[in-house]
Amino acid sequence: SSGGANGVSLTTVTGTSNFGAGSLIGATFPTFLINGSNGSVTYNGTITQNTVGQRVVDIQNKTGGTINLGGAISSTGGTGTGILLNANSGATVNFTGGISLNTGANAAFTAPAVERLAPPRTTRPSSTPSSRPPARRSMFRIRRSAGVA
């Protein structure tokens, strides 16, 4: 896809979507946008943003599902705002095709703090006190592969 508001824009989409491969470039707004729901999405093509002040990938408010981006992701021209992952409390996002972000003074990768869930509490015997709080695990994961800049 070339031009238009977004290359891909999914809002509150459930189920599984596979967009195959190809090339997304020249969008006026974020090139690859997902907002809300728990659907799973796979796209193995390239994603490029070269519009001033816009994101190449914007994924927000996901409550579940897996996002697999297997193609090269790039923000060119030094004026974009890179990648945003925000409020994805139960989703897994995989970037496996490489990331190259030239955003100048703008943040290249933004992933604000997300909700974290504590594991179930266990009762410790009084003979083995511990000063450490229970471990916390994140429900949010970013998987990087070799070649991620």
pLDDT digits (tens, 9 = 90+) for 61-73: 999 999 999 999 9
Q: Give which of 29, 30, 40 is closest to 62, Cα–Cα.
A: 40
Q: Which residues contact 95 (CB under 8 A, 6 or more apart)?
A: 69, 73, 142, 143, 144, 145, 148
Q: What percent of the chain has pLDDT over 90?
A: 63
Task: State the DSSP string of 74-125.
Answer: EE-TT----EEEES-SS-EEEE-S-EEE--TTS-SEE------BPPPP-PPP
**Widest CA span in the chain:** 66
Q: Tell me the whole-structure pTM to 2 decimals.
A: 0.75
Segment 111-122, tens digit of pLDDT: 986 544 445 555
Section 10-26 average pLDDT? 95
